[in-house]
Amino acid sequence: ARHLLGIEPLHPTEITTLLDLAESYVDLNRRTVKHSDALEGMTQINMFFENSTRTQSSFELAGKRLGADVMNMSMQTSSVKKGETLIDTALTLNAMHPDLLVVRHSASGAVDLLAQKVNCAVINAGDGRHEHPTQALLDALTIRRAKGRLHRLTVAICGDIAHSRVARSNLLLLGKMESRLRLIGPATLMPAGARDWGCEVYEDMREGLRGADVVMMLRLQRERMDGGFIPSEREYYHRWGLDAEKLALAADDAIVMHPGPMNRGVEIDGTIADDINRSVIQDQVEMGVAVRMAAMDLLARNLRAERGSRASEAL
């Protein structure tokens, strides 16, 4: 494929290929990622219309470790502030002939739309509440490394499911890899139709966590909430915050995940987040660089093949 816009169109074998390549970028001894020249001579532009710490920095690091020229567009100081549209901004950058555009936007579907207008590879770094494919891939790699497999695992995703692109991409990916999925959260933050997605749905967190192998916590995404009932942070923590007592109901060797940013004392107790025997939150960040290297490496190979075949057709 030319782009990575979501998990939805990926075949399980493509997911496994990408995870295996990402694994090859992890140096077990130094717990860092190896360098390569897969993007040598290529230009990568990061366009983040929404805030980011982990995704933007790891895409930048990943591009540099693969030898690309990496440019971070500062959208806060760009001409978007003067009213230039997303598409005009993208077409302007496209005229500078980048090879890869990494895009985050608050509107669901914005990255797909942009991908139709440019002639380089586009990676979705999170669009609205739609998809965040590289997050799901790095979560999958983290789970696979911790548990040795992705199939026949009980994965509980807890919190604000309705507004979460992370939940959506994870559901798609883990469903394709035959994990058993549970969604836990207040009814007001559960998408309509969640029960039709082939997962179990729980409002009672204690019930939902029972025997889970993986506990994935999500934050309340207030920036995407437009009214509706939201419990107070205190009540939320009491009913849906992960503390030691609730975690004790999961499997003895259950791992705790969180995509970040984390709100300690709201959806997760800080001690659990920092417990290196249970929490793999820092591993998720580390795997983010390797997964993004693998995604860009594969897209660059496809791009080179596409350009090669076009050049031979022209001869």
Residues that bind ligand CP (CB under 6 A): 52-55, 126, 135, 259-261
C-beta of 209: minimal distance to ligand CP in Å? Answer: 22
Q: Return the closest-CA partner of residue 13 out of 177, 179, 138, 180.
A: 177
Nearer residue to ligand CP within complex by CB, 17 or 52: 52
CB 133 within 8 A of CB 5: yes
C-beta of 261: minimal distance to ligand CP in Å? Answer: 6
Could you list the residues known to form a binding site for carbamoyl phosphate, using ranges.
Answer: 54-55, 104, 132, 135, 260-261
Nearer residue to ligand CP within complex by CB, 135 or 154: 135
Nearer residue to ligand CP within complex by CB, 128 or 259: 259
Could you list the residues known to form a binding site for L-aspartate, using ranges.
Answer: 82, 165, 219
How would you classify the pairing of strands 69-73 and 43-48? parallel
Nearer residue to ligand CP within complex by CB, 134 or 303: 134
Nearer residue to ligand CP within complex by CB, 283 or 303: 283
Alpha-helical runs (H) found in 177-280: 205-209, 233-240, 244-247, 270-274
CB 175 within 8 A of CB 151: no
C-beta of 53: minimal distance to ligand CP in Å? Answer: 4
C-beta of 280: minimal distance to ligand CP in Å? Answer: 14
C-beta of 243: minimal distance to ligand CP in Å? Answer: 22
Which tokens go with 83?
């009213």
Residue 287: half-sphere exposure toward Cβ, Cα within 13 Å? 25
